[in-house]
Structure 1
């Protein structure tokens, strides 16, 4: 693997030639860059023809082409370090190296090549895929002293954690993954990350952290390990359940953990109760299911991800065995989503919320996750009805009221209304006329109890009955950010 000194020289060369996320995007232009993200290579190849040294780097690392003499230092060392191969046609990339970053950062992520043959290697180190990006976009950025990146892989989450953590520890069970992560960090100019080897939380069994992030092997199936990045070795979703049980012991009071996970929808069981039961006492938790797949799609998706020929007899036999296992376990579907867990600082009982995302995400979830924690604190402080009634609330500026109608013999007939947020998860709540009027009146000028009294008078309803009907809805509105403290 590449030495730290060589990584530093390589980083300088890549930056000097403009091989950054911005530089590549500007070189290719919108159309060719979009084609590259779809895996279409001809348009970006054409865009690099007259692009000099930057064009050569794009062809070498992003298009898989051979370059006679790449504009890089110490080519022999890059070959011996495993980044390049040398042949009659010139040098080719032997590993995946690509620019990456967020605001005001120029990072580089090293990983194994994403080819069908490479993905079938048991110790394959994946790069920046959909799951990595999904988790990274959800991370709470509130500054902390130290963060554990559990199962770091190529080091993507450790890069992000370095932005909001004074110290970062990255662990993995695979020595090759740690070697790749070490090179990723060095190429990105990120220093001070401690890399530790071992399974799950064993390498940090005597330590506590302010934050833990993890994109663990979360693919439910029989208890085996075919691919280290994907399979936990425990049957079904038992590994996720076990990890959630163990996490609070590694968190300081008030610490948070964020991870991706999958859970089984078992015939005869309520899936929210199933996942809720995994959260230890004394923890707040938000489990947000993003999608559900049926067993056949689940198996096909992960066999395709491994680069297998789905029509090959061996692949079909493996699929059959996997489907047999799912059927024997009475699995009707497999859920996937986000988990946010916070250890209560006062040791009190936690609040566990399990729900589905209602549509496509319009924005990254990181702000929503941070605000959810703040909202839960506010709701806990206003748990008593009197405290909530005395609060002043405002309607979120991105909230809109939608009304809809159905056709009838007399024409359109009003069928209902819903308040919808235009940002974040775009939460949607059905509302009746009094609830819509209450939301419109939440301008921060009056306490909630005053608004309810006015509504009771306007709609000729008993105040006590309206309070009893309103407060649970108000708590839901606050939890989803439809209403915010004034």
Structure 2
């Protein structure tokens, strides 16, 4: 990319020409661009509708020809912006001026988002509308980032590439707790997705990154989306915030396990420069000291299974080695063998299978895994909390099932933490005196052997949250079915014991731990 435009130089300027958005002039230009995009109806739904669902899905796979074909000769603002800002196809200056009457082509150039060559405008960055859903409802952002494979065509990405709203970023955004927080740290912000999401529940967000280019995009995206509460600092991991504490830390760190070998590209947005999963280990072991008491850290990560030691057990050891005691909830969403993992990230860097380069990189990855005895890699997320006393939460689990609404899991996590804390204050007698309800998304499935009147398996299924399935015996199934907000747990257990002709005390002792788990997981709720 060329040198920064004249008015982007100095304090608040972006690397390689992207205007920062925190100088007064840049903020005004970003506001003008946002108004133009709004007037043009430049939303995710409108863009998808402009070229159709099939072509939009193809764009997600790096193909732009179907979208261009669907647009045909259209020259309206939505088509013009879709071609230029999403697909990276040069557009006539006059057409861009008409689509963006406040900003015009010159404004895109001054923001560092485009260049003008004679009578055409060429994008220097992607600017996409991105819809989202959280506890407060539906919303829409405009996200600027580096030109991607759709705009660049074939070939690998440059090492300093700043990624847009990728799948991992959107997953973490959906995991963020929606509960109020005073001060939030977005560690390794990239283009600022997590920082933007945090402004939905926090007044002040500090975004850090080792990449000046990433911070420039974060500032621009904050300005485009009217988020003045986002501030940026340059530096690696927790270095820029040494000695500071936050109510919330959120991080999509550069967790990808990459061979440290000659000729293997290291991308700033995903590679932390350490061997294996050491970067995630470092974040897990040090995040707690940057949390206020009661503060929560949430991050994505990978963990290796090595020489027979399970990856989740290695994550458990990281938590145990934390510089301050922390509660922990670690969820593995996917587990890949070494070949699958290598192929995933080689393709992510733009190198296609079947090429000599792909084979060379694959060999480097597998040799790196062999050196450490890696048999598989888990991918998932980590939630850490700094308690006021001794930790009470230590949960490590695999949840590979498809989730119904991954974008709103943060609400479930917040509710689960609140229930966990409430249950810690209830002994068994208090729990037995509590009235519960079955959550509305819970259903029951019974499986019978042919001709048998009694079920061989009873399953309680959750339609929301983590879509868990719990195998229940007849007593537990009866209790869950009877929780309608009328009778407390104790009387219900006594009645079920009478029906099943079993000892009520023994049944209560068996069922109450199950009830606690179902409450935390959202199968049951408090309240009449």
Quote the Cα distance in structure 1 between the aligned partners of 2:41 and 2:357: 45
Quote the Cα distance in structure 1 between the aligned partners of 2:358 and 2:183: 43
Partner in structure 2 of residue 236 of structure 1: 276
Q: 2:370 aligns with which of 321, 327, 333?
A: 327
Deviation (angstroms), 1:352: 1.1
Deviation (angstroms), 1:178: 0.9
Counting only pairs closer than 5 Å after superposition, residues 378-393 of structure 1 correspond to structure 2 as 378-382=422-426, 384-393=427-436
Equivalent pair of 1:293/1:333 in contact (CA under 8 Å): yes
TM-score, normalised relative to structure 1: 0.92
Q: Cα distance 1:14–1:404, how it changes in 2: closer, same or farther (>3 A)? A: same
Partner in structure 2 of residue 250 of structure 1: 290
Equivalent pair of 1:358/1:426 in contact (CA under 8 Å): no
Partner in structure 2 of residue 448 of structure 1: 489
Q: Cα distance 1:33–1:231, how it changes in 2: closer, same or farther (>3 A)? A: closer
Partner in structure 2 of residue 478 of structure 1: 519
Partner in structure 2 of residue 342 of structure 1: 385
Partner in structure 1 of residue 419 of structure 2: 375
Q: Cα distance 1:189–1:240, how it changes in 2: closer, same or farther (>3 A)? A: same
Equivalent pair of 2:298/2:383 in contact (CA under 8 Å): yes
Q: Secondary structure at 1:231's aligned position in 2?
A: coil
Equivalent pair of 1:48/1:58 in contact (CA under 8 Å): no
Equivalent pair of 1:149/1:214 in contact (CA under 8 Å): yes
Equivalent pair of 2:148/2:157 in contact (CA under 8 Å): no
Q: Cα distance 1:121–1:142, how it changes in 2: closer, same or farther (>3 A)? A: same
Counting only pairs closer than 5 Å after superposition, residues 48-447 of structure 1 correspond to structure 2 as 49-50=73-74, 52-69=76-93, 70-71=96-97, 72=100, 73-76=103-106, 78-79=108-109, 81-87=111-117, 90-102=120-132, 103=137, 105-115=139-149, 119-223=156-260, 226-279=266-319, 280=322, 282-344=325-387, 346-364=388-406, 365-382=409-426, 384-406=427-449, 414-447=455-488
Runs of 5+ consecutive residues of structure 2 not aligned to the other structure: 1-17, 20-25
Quote the Cα distance in structure 2 between the aligned partners of 1:93 and 1:369: 40
C-alpha distance after superposition, 1:306-352 (max 9, x if no partner):
012444444423321221221232222111112122211x2222311
Pick which of 103-112 and 194-203 moved more.
103-112
Quote the Cα distance in structure 2 between the aligned partners of 1:254 and 1:287: 18
Partner in structure 2 of residue 19 of structure 1: 42
Q: Secondary structure at 1:145's aligned position in 2?
A: strand
Deviation (angstroms), 1:36: 4.2
Equivalent pair of 1:216/1:261 in contact (CA under 8 Å): yes
Quote the Cα distance in structure 2 between the aligned partners of 1:465 and 1:10: 68
Deviation (angstroms), 1:166: 0.6
Q: Secondary structure at 2:275's aligned position in 1?
A: coil
Deviation (angstroms), 1:267: 3.3
Runs of 5+ consecutive residues of structure 1 not aligned to the other structure: none
Equivalent pair of 2:185/2:249 in contact (CA under 8 Å): yes
Q: Secondary structure at 1:125's aligned position in 2?
A: coil
Given the alignment of the two structures, is residue 461 of structure 1 paired with residue 505 of structure 2, yes or no? no
Deviation (angstroms), 1:168: 0.7
Quote the Cα distance in structure 2 between the aligned partners of 1:201 and 1:468: 46
Quote the Cα distance in structure 2 between the aligned partners of 1:420 and 1:145: 36
Pick which of 265-274 and 390-399 moved more.
265-274
Quote the Cα distance in structure 2 between the aligned partners of 1:295 and 1:208: 37
Partner in structure 1 of residue 9 of structure 2: none
Q: Secondary structure at 1:308's aligned position in 2?
A: coil
Quote the Cα distance in structure 2 between the aligned partners of 1:63 and 1:219: 27
CA RMSD of aligned residues (A): 2.4
Deviation (angstroms), 1:295: 0.4
Q: Cα distance 1:127–1:404, how it changes in 2: closer, same or farther (>3 A)? A: same
Pick which of 268-277 and 301-310 moved more.
268-277
Deviation (angstroms), 1:187: 1.9
Pick which of 237-246 and 100-109 moved more.
100-109
Equivalent pair of 2:30/2:220 in contact (CA under 8 Å): yes
Quote the Cα distance in structure 2 between the aligned partners of 1:300 and 1:358: 20
Q: Cα distance 1:350–1:239, how it changes in 2: closer, same or farther (>3 A)? A: farther
Deviation (angstroms), 1:8: 2.5
Deviation (angstroms), 1:457: 1.9
Quote the Cα distance in structure 2 between the aligned partners of 1:39 and 1:406: 49
TM-score, normalised relative to structure 2: 0.85
